[in-house]
Amino acid sequence: MTDRESIEGTETMTEEKWRAIVANDASADGRFFYAVKTTGIFCRPSCKSKPPKPGNVVLFGKAEEALAARFRPCKRCKPTGRRLPDEEWISLVTEYIDRHYEESLTLDALAEMSHGSPYHLHRTFKKVKGITPVEYVQRRRIERARELLAGTDRAVNEIGPAVGLPNLPYFITLFKKRTGLTPAAYRERHASRQPKEVSNYGESN
């Protein structure tokens, strides 16, 4: 997983370039490319995707520079002139889910983030991963919930929101569906399996 927060572009953002991005200005294509740190995607200025937040954007003069910085080309505007392979596209989506599982991640939100349609994302994700995007999100959340239950003393009603499941009854129901146990029972079972400390009190030398 790549940490893009510290990545700097090779071009400087100007008001003119930002206006080109917001307006999807095709006349700016070829002059620069913009990449979004939170999604790992880079685009042409003319891309019809929703404009990103300015603070998440870095600019590159060439597509090769964006690729070298580990950004992937947008599936919609094809900044490299080639189609992004399905496996790379879905890898980008799963990476985003792994980093943002605690947020509201609907199919529509994931499709918007990855610059595709909900229908195409659902179909392609299932073809590549064998499960749907929503199922992957649920698995990732429950996996993290298991880690928190086993490794912390945080209350169950705090862990649900921490993994993107703020509705407590739904969190408990989904957790039990995935693991066969309620969160409380899972924590109790895990605690009972931990090795007990052996006391040396009373032993003779």
Residue pLDDT, tens place only, 56-79: 999 999 999 999 999 999 988 999
Looking at residue 148, its pLDDT comes to: 96
Looking at residue 84, its pLDDT comes to: 84
Average pLDDT over residues 113-132: 93
15-73: what fold?
Answer: DNA Methylphosphotriester Repair Domain (3.40.10)
Confidence check: pLDDT of 199 > 80: no
Residue 172 CB neighbour total at 10 angstroms: 17
Catalytic pick from 43, 47, 74, 77? 43
Average pLDDT over residues 4-8: 71
DSSP assignment of the chain: ----TT---SB---HHHHHHHHTT-GGGBTTBEEEETTTTEEE-TT--SPPPPGGGEEEESSHHHHHHTT-EE-TTT-TTSSPPPHHHHHHHHHHHHHHHTTS---HHHHHHHTTS-HHHHHHHHHHHHSS-HHHHHHHHHHHHHHHHHHH----HHHHHHHTT---HHHHHHHHHHHHSS-HHHHHHHHHHTSPPPPP-TT---
Query: What are the residue ranges spanned by the domains of the chain?
Result: 15-73, 85-193
Looking at residue 4, its pLDDT comes to: 63
Confidence check: pLDDT of 194 > 70: no
Q: Phi-psi region for residue 148, left (φ > 0), alpha (ψ -120 to 50) or beta?
A: alpha
Tens of pLDDT along 16-58? 999 999 999 999 999 999 999 988 999 999 998 888 898 899 9
Confidence check: pLDDT of 124 > 90: yes
Mean pLDDT of the chain: 89
Q: Is 43 a catalytic residue?
A: yes
21-28 contact pairs (CB < 8 A, 24+): 21/45, 21/51, 21/52, 21/57, 22/51, 24/48
The answer regarding whether domain 85-193 maps to CATH 3.40.190.10 reads no
Looking at residue 82, its pLDDT comes to: 86
User: Cα(82)–Cα(71) distance, rounded to whole angstroms?
Assistant: 15
Of the given ranges (18-22, 112-116, 136-140, 173-177), which has the lowest mean pLDDT? 112-116
